[in-house]
């Protein structure tokens, strides 16, 4: 397995040396192609980026060979020349990424890659003393063009074996293609090499190098040694995704109880849960970019006219109980609250599995096993799992993580695999979590019953878009689209953007990477197959868009669209017209608002709730704009006039609607960024003139 | 604030509630502001017939009161912003704004509160009925039309905007004005007026000896909401639980979470409404009160610059995260933009057999979709065709789901559900698709499984006997949340000045005695088959082993020298140590570090920088 693509071990750290050939052949390339050095640097960059964003504890060192200078512990007069330890073993960071991109330059020398391996081994030995590493590992990037002396091969192999240091090669070309360019599809790695590298171009030196590499890797591991040799191309593909988030599952030991006399020792782990990004955004000052410069302050104030501030110590905690507010101190609450006795996994009873489907709560799934190293528990647990499976029932259990946590009700159902068997626990809803809604019947309404033709069109759509089909062997199934194999695109996108911003802080965000978008689309075979059936559905089902969802329009949007020329307040959309007109240059607020008032009058003449609503909308917009443009008096005058009009013309029902809308009005004003003083004066004008108090 | 929130929302240290929940909460609140409040008037027939017991069951009147009382208490928990009211008709006394005879408004439309619950509570049970008779009396000379009129007055007397207006009429008289055509006509006219003003009138008909015949009178009176038409009439409710079911189903207005398109491809789509049929009910947030007066205080948060003390507007700040020793800064808008993958909608990927859906791939409660004609007309027929075919062929629909514009997409399985009504003709399963959220690769964790050790046939069979003895029928509403129930009973007791809160029965506790009794000797027999005589599955012996072994081992590991710690602090590699080690170190130096790793690390860093 390619260590680069490994999901990362969470148990303890790995020490990795990235060993890069910077000899002069690495920087030469065929026209139109990227040189080997650039390709290798790309792979290293991707790898280090993944480590950085996964916040892996693995430590990374960098050794270069073929450098003009020499800097390593083993160097002596003519030994281990042109090999440089560029960076000691430490956590990877953005400095390393910058080094790889900008500092590491092609050299004009060459060095023996076996010598480089020895330097790497030496580094790993010395720098890991006294520390615990799960694994020590060397990644070698080279084009094998430098002369190589096999004298030390045996010693290297013996030492690698003795120290347990593992080794992987990354080459610009595959090693398993025969000289004559035989059938590449017969090769061991043919499934990976979609475009086998043209072998012709290899020099004698490189061929010799390949032989040494094969000998080395084969002796290290007869079975899989050669599989540890990778091409640049396949590695890049594998590294195109950021690592999936790995977390160490915590064991939760407990006893499964049935009644008070039967218990089975168990251990549970979280196995599926909606993973969140590990970090949250912190707020920093826009100028200094320092977090400490931003301070938050919370003030408490009374709900009176002057918003009298009170001290936090003078406040107590309370809760709403319907319309009542009940003072309830934290201490009292703690004292009186429900208390969970202890952690538990207690069976309440067993129920048919069909009764608990599609109603799971919570954000996680637990896998429950028998306790480790307890054969008695394992047998008892197995008996339970199989009993449930054979009877097709689930256990309904009370689960409490510990005494600080609220108890849950959940369903535990059997799950039997070749390697293991377990119970799977998912939370069930409480009565309070249910929303029991009634939906109109679809089958009892003739209007919505599809015709036979329509049904058969849907049938053929399902056939053409079936993602699961029987494999050739007739037993297993092929699934064309498995979401659980897809990395969360949100994380991929976040890391992509962070990475971009780390190097280019002043540029806008990059576009979403093509391969991310592709991975979210339906498989292309299905896309082609379903064309016909979809056309048929389109023809057979009359579908028509009715009234588009109201797009949120901001004043800016309106101004952007200079094609619209509005000259007067029309009757179709008077409020919007008004909004635009009053903002035009040289607009006469009085004149425009008179136009609006005329429209409002028309609406009131018509009498009828839809006209009223339109009128009220106009009044609302009028009020907002008046506040924004400091023409409050204009609005208040209108309101005064309106009030008397309403009294004259017996428009009590209109007035009522208007009053009902009052609460909403106030909130609208509060949210509009109006200064407090203005709002207050307006409120006052409202309270003065509207008979709210009755 | 953060620990405050986790105290109220968290399920404990292992679970952080997600931001989505907050978003949904915010939406629910927004709903009230923009759409207005829901309102519900209970109109209860209080004439003699309602008080006549039938056999051993409760009287129809008692059933109605029980039911209303329970709606009140549940509304306080689930949606205390809704307005409720109670009106009786057929009483001797009267009280209403229009002075109609024999119509008594017990409670006008208002939020449910402790006093109102207590008032209703008085009229529950046998004693309650006597009290009711003494207080209000009966009189058969009522007019249903006037009662309806009084109800509609309640709605128009409310000052706040109402989004949803409903009357539930409880009666067991199927032809109240059989001999008075004028009154019957007036009732019909009034019912028509209600319909015109958008007030829903539901009939909760109770048991009448000889059966309740809707066709006699009420067919013209009731006014079923357009979106709740089952095409069949429900049966009369003979038992409280039947009545409760009918009322429960209609007590809350259904609200869509979103209306969006289901795209079959780029230019072919139908529209659906998304609903939450499951929604975690939380203990509500506490509010702050002024100690002197117990009035609500407003909480305002503001940001200021620590250097200059000047107020900071949101635009004066940016957002940052640190990776690989580098702080990366984005504009706030950019942090939103990077969550954007396209516009909201469900995008068809393909179909799969239902059998490939894995029960254990659960990451979130499901949602529900039902066709929506308001965006694309004709959606319902296509939706129904998809539903019928998926049900028939046992298929599900795989989609990519973007719930809102700035919400990253998730893959979901649309699982078909056939509509179902029970014996009382009450809908128990609506037609539509459940949206089942599927995990991404990141959401699955590898766990360290225990090697299996298969049980013998005999052992499995014995366990099967045990299982069979403890079978019950799980119902989705079987369990109340004991934490919430206790919280609200405490509040109720405080609000009403009771000395002791009523203790809520904890339904989540196993009924151990009953279980033991049912199991009898089976447990001993099973243990004999599986456990050796000296084995104690309660882990005492094993635990003791661990206890003498574990911490000792740990302590050896934990003892980390001062120099080592110092060097970790200097190199910034404290993070490599485990939480228990850090905790122990903090304890050793008498530092209070809180429970989180970062807090422990901060405490140690500070300590070593000073010492």
ipTM: 0.80
Q: Mark yes or no for CB contact A358/B417 under 8 Å.
A: yes
Cα–Cα distance, B28 to B22 (Å, whole number):
10
Sequence-separated (6 or more) residues with CB below 8 Å from residue B304: A295, A297, B310, B311, B312
Query: Which residues of B are marked as active site?
Result: 33
Per-residue pLDDT, averaged over B559-585, amounts to 75
Least Cα separation, residue A675 to chain B (angstroms): 14
What pLDDT shows up at residue A2?
Answer: 43
Angle, CA of A575, A577 and A581, to the nearest 5°? 120
Is the dihedral angle over the CA atoms A328, A331, A332, A338 positive or is it negative? positive
pLDDT band of residue B313 (cuts 50, 70, 90) is confident
Cα–Cα distance, B482 to A70 (Å, whole number):
72
Q: What are phi and psi of A595, to 5 degrees?
A: -60, -45
Cα–Cα distance, A574 to A598 (Å, whole number):
10
Domain boundaries, chain A: 14-177+201-242, 249-435, 452-540, 574-662
Nearest to B290 among A315, A440, A454 (CB): A315
Homologous superfamily (CATH) of A574-662 is: Ku, C-terminal domain (1.25.40.240)
Class of residue A419 by CB neighbours under 10 A (exposed 0-12, middle 13-18, buried 19+): exposed
Shortest CA distance from B572: residue in chain A: A91
All structural domains of chain B, each given as residue ranges with its CATH number in brackets, are 35-251 (3.40.50.410), 258-281+339-443 (2.40.290.10), 457-530 (1.10.1600.10), 562-610 (1.10.720.30)
On whether any CB of chain A is under 8 Å from the CB of B303, the answer is yes
Q: Which residues in chain B touch residue A328, judged by CB atoms under 8 angstroms apart?
A: 286, 490-491, 494
pLDDT band of residue B395 (cuts 50, 70, 90) is very high
Is the dihedral angle over the CA atoms A89, A95, A96, A102 positive or is it negative? negative
Per-residue pLDDT, averaged over B140-157, amounts to 92
Q: Domain A249-435's class? A: mainly beta
pTM for this entry:
0.75
Judge contact between B111 and B80, C-beta under 8 A: yes
Cα–Cα distance, A327 to A313 (Å, whole number):
15
Question: What is the full DSSP assignment across B356-410?
Answer: G--TT---S--EEEEE-TTTEETHHHHHHHHHHHHHHHTEEEEEEEE-STTS--E
Q: Which residues in chain B touch residue A393, judged by CB atoms under 8 angstroms apart?
A: 467, 471
Dihedral angle over CA of B392, B394, A475, A185, nearest 10: 110
Cα–Cα distance, B61 to B133 (Å, whole number):
11
Order the strands of the A59-65 sheet from edge to edge. A83-90, A59-65, A14-21, A135-141, A165-171, A229-231
Q: Which of B252, B355, B362, B529 to mutate to test the interface with A (most CBs of A within 10 A)?
A: B362
Sequence-separated (6 or more) residues with CB below 8 Å from residue A440: B226, B227, B228, B229, B230, B231
Least Cα separation, residue B310 to chain A (angstroms): 10
Q: Mark yes or no for CB contact B444/A450 under 8 Å.
A: no
Q: Which residues in chain A touch residue B542, judged by CB atoms under 8 angstroms apart?
A: 265, 374
On whether any CB of chain A is under 8 Å from the CB of B348, the answer is yes
Buried/exposed code over A536-571 (b: 16+ C-beta within 10 A; e: otherwise): bbeebbebeeeeeeeeeeeeeeeeeeeeeeeeebee
Residues 667-686 of chain A whose Cβ lies under 8 A from any Cβ of chain B: 667
| Plot region of A54 (φ>0 → left; ψ -120 to 50 → alpha; else → beta) | alpha
Which of A32, A379, A199, A136 has its CA nearest to residue B526?
A379
pLDDT tens by residue, B32-91: 445 678 899 999 999 998 998 876 678 899 999 989 998 898 888 877 788 999 999 999
What is chain B's Cα-based Rg?
31
Q: Mark yes or no for CB contact A440/B439 under 8 Å.
A: no
Three-state secondary-structure class, residue A372: coil
On whether any CB of chain A is under 8 Å from the CB of B487, the answer is yes
Residues 178-217 of chain A whose Cβ lies under 8 A from any Cβ of chain B: none
Cα–Cα distance, A229 to A93 (Å, whole number):
27
Average pLDDT, chain B: 83
Judge contact between A18 and A123, C-beta under 8 A: no
Judge contact between A619 and A668, C-beta under 8 A: no
How many helices (H) and strands (E) in chain A?
21, 21
* Sites in chain A below the pLDDT cut of 70: 1-12, 176-200, 222-224, 241-246, 547-566, 585, 607-610, 647-650, 656-657, 659-694
Asked whether residue B216 carries a pLDDT value surpassing 50, the answer given is: yes
List the single range of B226-240, B265-279, B471-485, B546-560 with lowest mean pLDDT.
Answer: B546-560
Query: Taking chain A, what is the end-to-end CA distance rounded to the nearest angstrom?
Result: 79
On whether any CB of chain B is under 8 Å from the CB of A514, the answer is no
Three-state secondary-structure class, residue B456: coil
Which strand (E) or helix (H) includes residue B39? strand B37-45
What pLDDT shows up at residue B86?
Answer: 95
Q: What residues form DSSP beta bridges with B323? A: B326
Q: Mark yes or no for CB contact A438/B248 under 8 Å.
A: no
What pLDDT shows up at residue B447?
Answer: 86
pLDDT tens by residue, A428-479: 999 888 888 889 999 888 899 999 999 999 999 999 999 998 777 777 788 8
Give CA separation, B180 vs B175, B185, B186, B513, in Å: 10, 9, 10, 60
Judge contact between A580 and A558, C-beta under 8 A: yes
**Fold of the domain built from segment(s) A452-540:** Ku70; Chain: A; domain 4 (1.10.1600)
On whether any CB of chain B is under 8 Å from the CB of A251, the answer is yes
Judge contact between A621 and A578, C-beta under 8 A: yes
Judge contact between A537 and A461, C-beta under 8 A: yes
Q: Mark yes or no for CB contact B288/A316 under 8 Å.
A: yes
Sequence-separated (6 or more) residues with CB below 8 Å from residue A634: A589, A590, A593, A626
Cα–Cα distance, A31 to A78 (Å, whole number):
36
The answer as to CATH 3.40.50.410 being correct for domain A14-177+201-242 is: yes
Residues 107-166 of chain A whose Cβ lies under 8 A from any Cβ of chain B: none
Residues 44-63 of chain B whose Cβ lies under 8 A from any Cβ of chain A: none
How distant is the alpha carbon of residue A210 from its chain centre? 42
Nearest to A303 among B110, B295, B353 (CB): B295
On whether any CB of chain B is under 8 Å from the CB of A587, the answer is no
Shortest CA distance from A468: residue in chain B: B352
Residues 88-117 of chain B whose Cβ lies under 8 A from any Cβ of chain A: 110-117
Cβ neighbours, 10 Å, residue A287: 11
Asked whether residue B8 carries a pLDDT value surpassing 50, the answer given is: no
Residues 172-211 of chain B whose Cβ lies under 8 A from any Cβ of chain A: none
Which strand (E) or helix (H) includes residue B132? helix B125-136
Q: Which residues in chain B touch residue A377, judged by CB atoms under 8 angstroms apart?
A: 537
What is chain A's Cα-based Rg?
36
Query: Taking chain B, what is the end-to-end CA distance rounded to the nearest angstrom?
Result: 31
Cα–Cα distance, A63 to A72 (Å, whole number):
9
Cα–Cα distance, B601 to A315 (Å, whole number):
33
Cα–Cα distance, B232 to B217 (Å, whole number):
17
On whether any CB of chain A is under 8 Å from the CB of B14, the answer is yes
Secondary structure E strands in A121-206: 135-141, 165-171
Cα–Cα distance, A430 to A74 (Å, whole number):
69
């Amino acid at each position: 397995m390619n260590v680069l693509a490994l999901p990362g071990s969470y148990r303890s750290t790995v020490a990795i040396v990235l060993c890069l050939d910077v000899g002069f052949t690495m920087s030469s390339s065929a026209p139109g192609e990227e040189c080997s050095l650039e390709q290798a640097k790309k792979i290293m960059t991707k790898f280090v980026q993944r480590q950085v964003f996964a916040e892996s504890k693995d430590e990374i060192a960098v050794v270069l060979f073929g450098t003009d200078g020499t800097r390593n512990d083993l160097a002596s007069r003519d030994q281990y020349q042109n090999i440089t330890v560029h960076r000691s073993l430490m956590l990877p960071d953005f400095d390393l990424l910058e080094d790889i991109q900008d500092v590491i330059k092609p050299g004009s020398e060459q060095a023996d890659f076996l010598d480089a391996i020895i330097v790497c081994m030496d580094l790993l030995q010395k720098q890991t003393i006294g520390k615990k590493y799960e694994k020590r590992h060397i990644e070698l990037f080279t084009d094998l063009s430098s002369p190589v002396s096999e004298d030390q091969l045996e010693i290297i192999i013996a030492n690698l074996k003795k120290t347990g240091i593992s080794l992987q090669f990354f080459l610009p070309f595959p090693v398993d293609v025969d000289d004559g360019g035989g059938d590449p599809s017969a090769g061991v790695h043919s499934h990976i090499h979609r475009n086998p590298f043209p072998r012709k171009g290899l020099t004698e030196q490189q061929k010799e190098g390949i032989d040494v590499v094969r000998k080395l890797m084969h002796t290290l591991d007869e079975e899989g040694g050669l599989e540890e040799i990778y091409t640049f191309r396949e590695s890049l593909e594998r590294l195109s995704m950021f690592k999936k988030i790995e977390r160490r599952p915590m064991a939760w030991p407990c006893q499964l109880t049935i009644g008070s006399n039967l218990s089975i020792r168990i251990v549970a782990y979280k196995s599926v849960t909606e993973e969140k990004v590990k970090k949250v955004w912190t707020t920093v000052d826009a100028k200094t970019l320092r977090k400490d410069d931003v301070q938050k302050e919370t003030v408490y104030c009374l709900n009176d006219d002057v918003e009298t501030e009170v001290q936090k110590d003078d406040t107590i905690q309370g809760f709403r109980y319907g319309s009542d507010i009940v003072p309830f101190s934290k201490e009292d609450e703690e004292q009186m609250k429900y208390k969970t006795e202890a952690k538990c996994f207690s069976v309440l009873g067993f129920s048919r599995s069909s009764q608990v489907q599609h109603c799971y709560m919570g954000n996680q799934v637990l896998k429950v096993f028998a306790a480790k190293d307890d054969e008695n528990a394992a047998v008892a647990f197995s008996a339970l799992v199989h009993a449930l499976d054979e009877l097709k029932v689930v256990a309904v259990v009370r689960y409490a993580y510990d005494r600080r946590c609220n108890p849950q009700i959940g369903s535990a159902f059997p799950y039997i695999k070749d390697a293991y068997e377990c119970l799977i626990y998912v939370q069930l809803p409480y009565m309070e979590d249910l929303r029991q809604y009634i939906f109109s019947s679809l089958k009892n309404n003739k209007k919505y019953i599809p015709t036979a033709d329509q049904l058969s069109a849907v049938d053929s759509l399902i056939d053409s878009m079936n993602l699961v089909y029987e494999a050739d062997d007739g037993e297993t199934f092929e699934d064309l689209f498995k979401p659980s194999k897809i990395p969360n695109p949100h994380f991929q996108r976040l890391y992509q953007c962070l990475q971009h911003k780390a190097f280019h802080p002043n540029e806008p965000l990059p576009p979403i990477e093509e391969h991310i978008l592709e991975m979210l689309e339906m498989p292309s075979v299905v896309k082609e197959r379903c064309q016909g059936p979809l056309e048929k559905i389109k023809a057979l089902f009359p579908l028509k868009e009715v009234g588009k969802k109201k797009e949120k329009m901001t004043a800016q949007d309106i101004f952007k669209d200079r094609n619209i020329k509005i000259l007067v307040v029309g009757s179709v959309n008077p409020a919007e017209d008004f909004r635009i007109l009053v903002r035009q240059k040289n607009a006469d607020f009085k004149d425009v608002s008179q136009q609006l008032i005329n429209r409002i009058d028309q609406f009131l003449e018509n009498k009828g709730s839809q006209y009223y609503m339109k009128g009220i909308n106009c009044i609302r917009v009028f009020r907002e704009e008046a506040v924004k443009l400091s023409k409050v008096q204009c609005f208040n005058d209108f309101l005064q006039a309106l009030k008397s009009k309403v009294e004259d013309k017996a428009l009590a029902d209109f007035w009522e609607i208007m009053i009902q809308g009052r609460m909403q009005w106030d909130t609208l004003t509060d949210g509009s960024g109006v200064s407090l003083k203005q709002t207050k004066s307006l409120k006052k004008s409202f309270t003065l003139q509207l008979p709210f108090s009755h | 604030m953060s620990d405050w929130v986790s105290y109220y929302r968290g399920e404990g240290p292992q679970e952080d509630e997600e931001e989505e929940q907050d978003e949904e909460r915010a939406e629910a609140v927004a709903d009230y502001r923009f759409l207005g409040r829901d309102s519900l008037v209970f109109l209860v027939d209080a004439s003699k017939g309602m008080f006549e017991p039938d056999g051993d069951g409760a009287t129809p009147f008692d059933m109605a009161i029980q039911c209303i009382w329970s709606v009140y208490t549940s509304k306080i928990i689930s949606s205390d912003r809704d307005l409720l009211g109670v009106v009786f008709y057929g009483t001797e006394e009267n009280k209403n704004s229009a002075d109609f005879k024999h119509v008594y408004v017990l409670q006008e439309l208002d939020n449910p509160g402790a006093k109102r619950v207590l008032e209703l509570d008085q009229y529950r049970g046998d004693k309650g009925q006597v009290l009711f008779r003494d207080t209000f009396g009966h009189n058969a000379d009522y007019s249903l039309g006037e009662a309806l009129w009084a109800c509609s007055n309640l709605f128009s007397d409310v000052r706040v905007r109402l989004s949803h207006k409903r009357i539930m009429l409880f009666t067991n008289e199927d032809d109240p004005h059989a001999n008075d055509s004028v009154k019957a006509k007036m009732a019909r006219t009034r019912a028509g007026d209600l319909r015109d003003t958008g007030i829903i009138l539901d009939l909760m008909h109770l048991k009448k000896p000889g059966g309740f015949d809707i066709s006699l009178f009420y067919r013209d009176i009731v006014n079923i909401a357009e979106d709740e038409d089952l095409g069949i009439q429900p049966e009369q409710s003979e038992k409280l639980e039947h009545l409760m079911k009918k009322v429960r189903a209609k007590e809350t207005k259904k609200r869509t979470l979103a209306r969006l398109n289901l795209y079959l491809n780029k230019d072919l789509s139908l529209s659906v409404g998304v609903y939450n049929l499951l929604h975690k009910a939380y203990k509500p947030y506490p509010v702050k009160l002024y100690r002197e007066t117990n009035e609500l205080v407003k909480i305002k948060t503001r940001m200021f610059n620590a250097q200059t003390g000047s107020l900071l507007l949101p635009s004066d700040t940016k957002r940052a995260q640190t990776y690989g020793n580098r702080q990366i800064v984005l504009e706030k808008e950019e942090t939103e933009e990077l969550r954007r993958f396209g516009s909201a909608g469900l995008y068809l990927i393909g179909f799969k057999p239902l059998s490939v859906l894995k029960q254990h791939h659960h990451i979130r409660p499901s949602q529900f979709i039902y066709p929506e004609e308001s965006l694309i007309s004709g959606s319902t027929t296509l939706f129904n065709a998809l539903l019928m075919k998926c049900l028939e062929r046992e298929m599900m629909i795989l989609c990519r789901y973007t719930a809102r514009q700035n919400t990253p997409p998730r893959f979901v399985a649309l699982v078909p559900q056939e509509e179902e009504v029970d014996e009382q003709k009450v809908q128990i399963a609506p037609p539509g698709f459940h949206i089942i959220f599927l995990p991404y690769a990141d959401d699955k964790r590898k766990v360290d499984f225990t090697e299996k050790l298969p049980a013998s046939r005999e052992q499995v069979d014995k366990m099967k006997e045990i299982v069979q003895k403890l079978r019950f029928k799980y119902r989705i509403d079987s369990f109340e949340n004991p934490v919430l129930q206790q919280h609200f009973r405490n509040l109720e007791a405080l609000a009403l000045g009771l000395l002791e809160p009523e203790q809520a029965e904890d339904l989540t506790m196993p009924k151990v005695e009953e279980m033991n009794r049912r199991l009898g000797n089976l447990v001993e027999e099973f243990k004999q088959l599986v456990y050796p005589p000296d084995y104690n599955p309660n882990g005492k012996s094993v635990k003791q082993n661990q206890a003498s072994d574990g911490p000792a081992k740990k302590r050896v590991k934990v003892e980390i020298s001062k120099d080592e710690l110092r060097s970790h602090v200097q190199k910034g590699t404290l993070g490599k140590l485990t939480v228990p080690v850090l905790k122990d170190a903090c304890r050793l130096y008498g530092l209070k570090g809180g429970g989180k790793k970062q807090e422990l690390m901060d405490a140690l860093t500070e300590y070593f920088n000073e010492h």
